Amino acid sequence: MTFPRFTIEQSDTEFYSSQSGMALVGLAINRYTTLASRLAKAAPCQGIATADVLRSYLGLLCQGKSDFEAIRPFWDDDEFFAAALGVQNIPSPETLRQRMDKVAEASRWIVNFCTVEFIKKVKAQLSTLPSGHMPLDMDVFTQDNSNTKKEGVSWTYCKFNGFAPIAAWLGLEGWCLEIEQRPGSQHSQEGFIPFLLRAIDKSRQLTKAPLLVRLDSAHDAIATLVTLSTEKVDFIVKWNPRRADVPARASEVFAHGKTVKQDKKGRVAIMTETVERSYKDENDEEKTIKLRRVLRATQRNFEKDGTPLLIPDVEIEGWWTNLNVAKDKVIELYKGHALCEQYHSELKTDMNLERLPSGKFATNDLVMCCAGLAYNILRAVGQVGLMGKKQARRAKQRRRIKTVMQDLIYFAGRFIRHAHGLTLRFSCHANDQAQAFSKTYERFAYG
């Protein structure tokens, strides 16, 4: 059997791009944020403008590339990359690294501001829970940077050396409000209250719906609960049993709570209680606060493989809340907090941010701030271009970042520059993708 052989040719005049989606990214940055003007005032530099440096790096992140060396192909010769992002000069890998080191402290706050500014100006869809609440989830995640000597790398709770940043996510779509880079050994609660207050303030700038703050047990501290009560937001915080007598508490729940499941495999019961906790205010005065706690006790008589247990396995879970809803409803509302792990996975895997590119902590902090803005841009591209009937494989709130990159960012086209302007021409066989791309571009350009 014979196979056809292709003749390989290279055009002398035509220019093709395998990243046509940079045109969408450039529109998103330049039309819906004030990144360039703010950086010109806060971080002026000789030579290549700071705005050009960060816009170029944002272009890399939106392609799933975080390493500074990834800019080299575009620096060597890529007219389209510069035109799409509105960049006058593309930095070399060395310039990109040095400049981000230099402007890290001055730029991170601007990028964080633009992250929320973009959500507001692009009029992003923010979906609420069936209860009418707008979910605001905050969680710490880890980045494995083992076998490196980067500043801030230390032993994490996942038992490897790396970083432990914290991020805030809004709505069922999972819009990123802010990311704060942290050393791996930093406790989740350390420095959390200022981060929490910033996240609540930014959320109120974007929505008038009542907020539902959801936190895991790492933030079960009286300071967190008092702050949430003072800010007058609804909340569900996972209870940390710490030194609680689990068998005794479980027996109490089984005795006084409501049994929701019971068979030969085991039983589950839930109950609610009011707990009074004391704390000291800013003036060091002793005060108390009343909190509602929902408890769920689970008894298992068999292993997962069906092996009977000689002594039943007993587990107890709890949730602090100020919601005036049924016990099982509180547990159901908290389940959505697990989606944070999906957002973290998209950041670390799809955007290649597991191992950070710099040896300096401040620069990696800026990298993560840029990642938050790039993440929102990709999320918006997916919401506009890939949520139609033709593109959506099934009903859902969002498309994964990797899917957005594959379908729209890495969409190949021919770049044409002529007297009347710039043109992107797509293949005649890519009807659905071309329509989705055109729809997104028109929305970003004229919407």
205, containing H or E segment:
helix 192-206
pLDDT of residue 391: 53
pLDDT tens figures, 341-357: 999 999 999 999 999 99
**pLDDT at res. 284:** 82
222 φ, ψ to 5°?
-60, -35
Task: Provide the pLDDT for residue 23.
Answer: 96
- Asked whether the predicted pLDDT for residue 124 surpasses 70, the reply is yes
Q: What is the pLDDT of residues 87-120, one digit of tens each?
A: 999 999 999 999 999 999 999 999 999 999 999 9
pLDDT value at 415 more than 60: yes
**Residue 387 in this model has a pLDDT that exceeds 90:** no
pLDDT-derived band at 392, boundaries 50, 70, 90: very low
Mean pLDDT on 41-67: 94
* Number of CB atoms found within 10 A of residue 211's CB: 21
Residue by residue, DSSP assigns 297-337 as EEEEEE-TTSPEEEEEEEEEEEEEE---S-HHHHHHHHHGG
Average pLDDT over residues 57-69: 97
**Helix, strand or coil, per DSSP, at residue 389:** coil
The Cα 272–Cα 327 span in angstroms is 7
Confidence of residue 319 (pLDDT cuts 50, 70, 90): very high
The enclosing H or E element of 439 equals helix 431-446
User: What is the predicted pLDDT for the residue at 389?
Assistant: 56
User: What DSSP line would sit under 68-136, residue for residue?
Assistant: GGGGHHHHHH-HHHHHHHT-SSPPPHHHHHHHHHHHHHHHHHHHHHHHHHHHHHTT---PPPTTS-EEE
% of the chain with per-residue pLDDT over 90: 80
According to DSSP, the β-strands at 308-321 and 413-418 are: unpaired
Closest CA to 235 of 283, 292, 178, 295: 292
Is the pLDDT at 37 greater than 90? The verdict is: yes
Please check whether residue 251 is in contact with residue 271, taking contact to mean a CB–CB distance below 8 angstroms. Answer: no
Q: How far apart are CA 405 and CA 411, in angstroms?
A: 8
Residues 323 and 36: beta-carbon distance below 8 Å = no
CB 287, CB 229: distance < 8 Å: no
In the chain the domains, ranked by start, together with CATH numbers, are 15-122+357-446 (no CATH), 134-350 (3.90.350.10)
- Would the pTM of this model clear 0.85, i.e. be above it? yes
- Return the ∠ at Cα 27 (arms to 22 and 30), rounded to 5°: 120
The pLDDT value given to residue 395: 45
The single-letter DSSP state of residue 8 is: P
pLDDT (average), residues 155-171: 96
Per-residue pLDDT at 292 exceeds 70: yes
Tokens of 321: 């809340």
Q: Which pLDDT does position 396 carry in this prediction?
A: 63
**pLDDT (mean) for 368-393:** 86
Instruction: Report the pLDDT averaged over residues 63-81.
Output: 90
The dihedral through the CA atoms of 348, 350, 356, 362 has a sign that is negative
Range in 69-73, 183-187, 232-236, 423-427 the model is least confident about: 423-427
User: Any residues with CB less than 8 A from the CB of 55 and at least 6 apart, and which?
Assistant: 26, 29, 30, 35, 36, 85, 86, 87
Other Cβ atoms closer than 10 A to 236: 23
**Portion of the chain with pLDDT greater than 70, in percent:** 97
Confidence of residue 282 (pLDDT cuts 50, 70, 90): confident
Distances 186 to 61, 231, 264, 357, 442 between C-alpha atoms, Å? 26, 25, 44, 21, 45
Rounded average pLDDT over 226-231: 94
Long-range contacts of range 310-317, CB-CB < 8 Å, 24 or more positions apart?
A: 312/266, 314/246, 314/247, 314/250, 315/246, 315/250, 316/241, 316/244, 316/246, 316/249, 316/250, 316/253, 317/238, 317/239
Q: Across the strands, what pairs with 318?
A: 295
Question: What is Dmax (Cα atoms) for the chain?
Answer: 88
**pLDDT tens-digit readout, 195-214:** 999 999 999 999 999 999 99
